[in-house]
Chain A
Amino acid sequence: MAVQFKKETLEEFEAIAKRYPLRRAALLPALWLAQREFGWISTDAMVAVSELVGCSPMQVMEVAEFYTMYQKKKPGQYHLQVCQTISCLLNGSEEIKKVIEKKLDLKPGETTPDGKFSYQPVECLASCHTGPCMQVNDDYHENLTPQSTEKLIEELRKK
């Protein structure tokens, strides 16, 4: 189903596009706007972005696929992204992953049936001194323990 940007978003985009000498350079910002507005980057959203930026849908897809932060699948209300790279690993990220996988019965890349939680181990979040860490949507949660992770999930569940 075709999707359309709101009028305000189109205006916002035009202001952003002016920052670059080439309109094509505003493709990453356009994808961010699409994700904010539609929740994720569907192929329909890619088409809308391509019309906005003035490049082919294929070029948009190529870029959207390259960058991990553009969600090509609808994420849960709370997208749990656990850092699994070296410093977090040294301080117990494996335990954190286990808690999430067990408590929510999720494997990497999956979403709970109620659409509340999705889970994705990710690479270094640049929070190495406060590992293990996890990003829930845009927020960092640091110095996690199995207990604090359980508690966090409980709190999010109630929200």
Chain B
Amino acid sequence: MAEFQPQLTRRFETKDGHQLKVYLETGGYASLKNLFAKKPAEVIEEVKSSGLKGRGGAGFPAGMKWSFVPQNTGKPVYLVVNADEGEPGTFTDRFMMLYDPHLLLEGIICASYAIGCHTSYIYVRGEFLEQINRLNAAIEDAKKAGYLGKNIQGSGFDLEVYVHRGAGAYICGEETGLLESLEGKKGQPRIKPPFPAIVGAFGCPTIVNNVKTLSSVPWIIENGAAAYAAIGTKESPGTHVFGLSGHVHQTGFWEMPFGLPMMEFIEKYGKGVKGGKLKAVIPGGSSCPVLTAKECEDLTLSYESMRDHKTMFGTGCAIIMNEHTDMAKILKNLTHFYRDESCGQCTPCREGSAWEDRILKKILAGEAAAKELDLMLEIADNMEGKTICVFSSALAFPVRSFIKKFREDFEKYCKPTAVSVPEKVS
């Protein structure tokens, strides 16, 4: 830990770190020399062997994803950056773009070179106007200085980068929903396969990567895959920007290697739980199954530990809840969110999310019997894995884990005498 050097947040404290001049003075665009000395296939191999996983939530190995792009199809290849950060509890890409936009651009250049892409779009959520302005300014400066545009740094490689502004739809963080949105349509996800690597934006091979995934790449190209793989844990190499929100004394984000125990993260970085003892943790954004305080005792911030605890690493931003938290009200907040954000395309999701929300509303109003909790679990089972995208499962996970692990919080609202009547459709 002692020799750990920040990679993603190294310029966060630097004055004007977002400006090209300062970026170059602090080692920016240094990976390009190594990059252009390699063949694209070698770059993919390098990233593959670094073990870098996608930071958007699914944790899919980045190098492997790149290797799926078919070569010589005669069609252009696109790289689309997923900067539609919207998973409840997640707030770090926002600062990556604000404080170090050139690092992202450098990552885009590396990835584009590897997959043979000459046009890249950064899909930024609509609310992030400040970030959009920063990125546009950075693109303009980079272009003037020959880091983007034609024949980048004399390498013969051309790349244009454009910012595409979203307009407020959570589902556009799903990669195929994002591509639909990029094409000027409703952000309704597409059936896979074909995967975007084969048929993506505008019917062409496309790679969609998260902001932090790409921002991690320049360090790998500069220092080598072995050096990257030596950081963190065996299954979760490298560093990540971990976030804390909710009931901790100090909320915020910190970059560190994977593998820190969750309790140490809460105590040391979050300065402990606020307002009482720890009750529950949602480890990586609202779609991840919730964990009890007991389950967190031997949890570490890594993909494998989260998997062993039957939850997901997700975005690496944890939501902390103290002992006074009413889990029924928190789940109501989430069912409302998913009901609101469901794109409406698939029946199990559209109807299921609204139904779960209505039942929970009835429970909280003291108008339901405890058996309706079992109905909620049944609906969750019917929502999981039966739709075009994982949004539906992303509600089934919290519903199931909240009710199973904190059933008493729900039962206290239930009335044994209540007669089950259909909830009012609202």
Interface residues of A (CB under 8 A from B): 19-22, 24-29, 31-32, 53, 55, 62-63, 66-70, 84-87, 89-91, 122-131, 135, 138
Contact = CB atoms under 8 A, between A and B. Distances in A.
B40 to A, nearest CB: 22
Contact of B85 (A32, A70, A90, A126): A126
B86 A87 contact: no
A90 B247 contact: yes
A28 B187 CA distance: 11
A12 to B, nearest CB: 13
Given A32-B165, A124-B86, A131-B245, A89 B333 contact: yes
Interface stretch (B27-35, B177-185, B227-235): B177-185
A129 B251 contact: yes
Given A22-B183, A90-B325, A84 B165 contact: no
Give the interface centre of A53, A89, A126, A138 by most chain B CB atoms within 10 Å. A126
Nearest to B87: A124
Contacts of B129: 138
B330 to A, nearest CB: 6
A6 to B, nearest CB: 20
Contact of B251 (A21, A86, A130): A130
Interface string B155-178: 000001010111111100000000
B243 interface: yes
A28 B165 contact: yes
A87 B89 contact: yes
Contacts of B7: none
Contacts of B167: 28, 31-32, 67-70
Interface string B322-344: 00010000100110010011010
A70 B169 CA distance: 11
B125 interface: yes
Interface string B305-328: 000000000000101010001000
Given A25-B202, A28-B164, A131-B245, A86 B333 contact: yes
A140 to B, nearest CB: 8
Contacts of A125: 127
B330 A126 contact: no
B126 interface: yes
B61 interface: no
Contacts of B330: 86, 89-90
A88 B160 CA distance: 38
Contacts of B251: 128-130
A96 B74 CA distance: 55
Contact of B245 (A21, A87, A123): A87
Greatest chain B CB density within 10 A among A55, A86, A89, A125 is at A86
Interface in B223-269: 243-247, 251-253
A135 to B, nearest CB: 6
Contacts, number: 134
A118 B333 CA distance: 23
Please give me the 9 A-B residue pairs with the lowest Cβ-Cβ distance, nearest first: A27-B184, A67-B167, A69-B168, A128-B245, A129-B251, A68-B168, A87-B245, A66-B186, A124-B88
B110 to A, nearest CB: 22
Contacts of A91: 246-247
A92 to B, nearest CB: 11
Nearest to A24: B184
A142 to B, nearest CB: 10
Contacts of B126: 67, 69
Contact of A28 (B184, B253, B317): B184
A87 B186 contact: no
Contacts of B325: 90
A126 B91 contact: yes
A63 B86 contact: no
B90 interface: yes
Given A28-B167, A55-B184, A124-B337, 11 more contacts: A24-B184, A25-B184, A28-B165, A67-B126, A86-B333, A87-B245, A124-B170, A125-B127, A126-B86, A126-B125, A126-B127
B90 A126 contact: yes
23 contacts: A22-B183, A22-B184, A29-B164, A32-B165, A55-B184, A68-B168, A70-B168, A86-B88, A86-B282, A87-B319, A89-B330, A89-B333, A91-B247, A123-B337, A123-B341, A125-B127, A126-B85, A126-B86, A126-B94, A127-B94, A128-B90, A129-B245, A138-B129
